[in-house]
Structure 1
Amino acid sequence: MRHLIFLLTFSLFLISCGQTDTKQKELELKEKELALKERELVLNVKDTNNGTPPPVNVVPDLSYKSHSPCTFSVNLPSNFKLQPMYDDKSPDYCDYSVKTKDGFEIIQLHSLLSSRFEFSSIKELYDAAIKKSELDICYKTQKGNWFVISGTKKENGNTVYWKRVSGNNFISDLQVEYPKSRESEIAPYISTISNSFTSK
């Protein structure tokens, strides 16, 4: 009798496990179907301006290259080209531009001796930058030895991202500017570029 009760209990346990597994599989299938439907919706939605699907914010798999040409250091996507803005060189400053593979200038990098600035702290530079800004500012922050100000240029609608870092001897600027049409070429990389940017 005990053996029969054990067999019945074990059979019920196996049946319930099978149902749980079946329900779990059904849930997983429904989740996959929903994910596919969401993806189809995103791909089928058309941008009213030009009839193209909206950009999906996925960072392409791209390698980065470290650059330390003068008094700053930055990591850039391997398909971006860093070059000096001027032929003349000075131990007091340096200016570089970064271009996309088709030659569009998307970033400017500047570095200048700290002694050329009249300031007592990075906070003072930050406050002055906000006060003089010609942007419709959408983001601003100041931490440690750096600040970031980002927004839209009033004159042309371009997106601007500016990071200033105070190093031991130099103040260095990372300035990104791009029109809406170039957003997909730079926006996914700004965070990595900005986080890598330092001043000497």
Structure 2
Amino acid sequence: MEFTQELDTGLFKMIGNTETSLKIREVAEKCRLVKTEHGIKVEMTYTGPNASKYMQYIEKNKEELTKYLMNPDEADLYEWMETSHQTPITLKKHEKEKLIIYVNYDANTHIAMTGIADENVTMKLGSPLMEINIEELTRDQFKLKIYNMLLLADEIAVLMGNADLRKMANIQIVKTYLSQIYDKYHEKKEDVNIFN
């Protein structure tokens, strides 16, 4: 069982399965935005098993879900914020920190992981930007994953107002380094740099 402490009262509240098992993407797939005279509202289109769980999730996360449905191109950002337990307010606290994008590659498992770290390469913000097995991806899929990861890093940097991280999200070296990993360790080794 998991508990969370409420800030106002100091009391502990049990976190049920609703919060831990549902993810924003799977709830959003069962919803749509409907225009009303008062603005826009989230309407659930799902009536199957566990519909009440989805309704509870919608009630608790109405604002994030609305933003998610209104901005499908920013879906990765909302999912990352959910898994890393970040909000625009908590991200703003990292505005002045010297942050970098780091790459970790395990040659045994072929898992490449990228994340946001401080200068001591200590992972920050609780969740990786990307975690992939390069053996399972074609070169084009790998290339798309890297660009999506850099786009996500840029969106996070913009949200926190961190200029250093924003520069890191645009650097060629991250793309080149990851493509070299792909070339060196992928079974179908190719000599062409995927970014040129």
State the TM-score, normalizing by the size of structure 1: 0.25
- Tell which has more relative contact order, 1 or 2 (C-alpha 8 A, sep 6+): 1
Structure having the larger proportion of residues in strand: 1
For the pair shown, the structure with the greater C-alpha radius of gyration is: 1
